[in-house]
Amino acid sequence: MTLIAILMATLAAGIGSVWVAALLMRLGLGGRHDGVGPQHLLSLAAGALLATAFMHLLPEAFESQAGAHDLFATLLVGVVFFFLLDKAELWHHGHEHSHTAPQRHDHGHAHGHSHSGDAAHAVHDHGHAHHHHGSRSGGWALLTGDSVHCFGDGILIASAFMADMRLGVIAAVSVLAHEVPHHMGDLVVLRQTSPDRRVALIKVSLAGAVTALGGVVGYFLVGQLQDFLPYFLAVASSSFVYVALADLIPQLQKRLTARETIAQIAWLIAGMVVVTMVSGAAHSH
């Protein structure tokens, strides 16, 4: 039963986020106009990730027999690990750029696609430095990086499900929320290399489906290491906290009008409210 729930949740988070992204783009949402824009989606995702980490994953980990010192140490190591992973990715692609034509880098990130003026750049530029390869490699480098990222998401979701079904649902919803703006950027980049929107959607959906593979691997991995489950939850928390604080929120730190700032904060709180509502619904069920 748990494995079936993991498969359903990871497919919903992995592929569902792609379809939601495609739908929002088709409806004209997430663009640079009045209404739901990329800043709103990023705020929503950041709120959902932070609420999941601090209100659900970490409390679940601390309810175990594991010591607080060890769990905080795991959380710290996890954050540093994801930081180093990001640095390694940026260094690798920065090195490759030194052998090619110079390209624009905004805010210190190694994103070379020329969408800095439109919404695609805003929703796409949140820490995934490999994405700029889409324009000259048919998108395969982008899809490979996405697949690895989705595989990791699947393991994190599985870890949450192994601790508690309700926690797994919350983690899946949070992953879905933060992958929507990410996949909107993927679709924009892939559509540059292929005029067929359907092909771009299929490619990104296949990368998203790898989330389910990560879920299955996580199910058997965590099942064999049940005693280490609290530490898996701490690592999952560190991933969510790092993505929110290092990738999403820095993009929200812009000079805005009072109205735009209020909207940004409202969407951040909305992300937290969504997680709370999902938690309550899952708990009552």
Tens of pLDDT, residues 44-84: 888 888 999 999 889 989 988 889 999 999 999 999 998 98
pLDDT tens digits, one per residue of 170-192: 999 999 988 888 888 788 777 77
> Is 277 a residue whose pLDDT tops 70?
yes
What is the number of other CB atoms lying within 10 angstroms of the CB of residue 71? Answer: 19
* pLDDT (average), residues 3-22: 93
Residue 176 tokens read as: 């879905």
pLDDT at residue 285, as a whole number: 57
Domain definitions of the chain by residue range: 2-25+38-95+118-284
Residue-wise pLDDT tens digits, 233-257: 999 899 889 988 988 888 888 877 8
Contact of 62 with 68, CB cutoff 8 Å: yes
pLDDT, tens digit, 9 for 90 and up, residues 187-235: 877 777 766 788 888 888 999 999 999 999 999 998 888 888 899 999 9
H or E stretch covering 247: none
* pLDDT of 14: 93
Record the pTM.
0.71
Name the DSSP class of 55.
I
Please report the pLDDT score of residue 54 as a whole number.
93
More confident residue, 4 or 104: 4
Q: How far is CA 234 from CA 7, 61, 65, 164, 240, in A?
A: 22, 7, 14, 14, 10
For 126-180, the DSSP string reads SS-GGGGGGGTSTTHHHHHHHHHHHHHHHHHHHHHHHH-HHHHHHHHHHHHHHHH
Q: Which residues of 162-174 are buried (b: 16+ CB within 10 A; e: fewer)?
A: bbbbbbbbbbbbb
Which structure tokens are listed for 13? 């988070």
Burial of 4 (0-12, 13-18, 19+ CB in 10 A): exposed
Residue 30: the pLDDT is 54
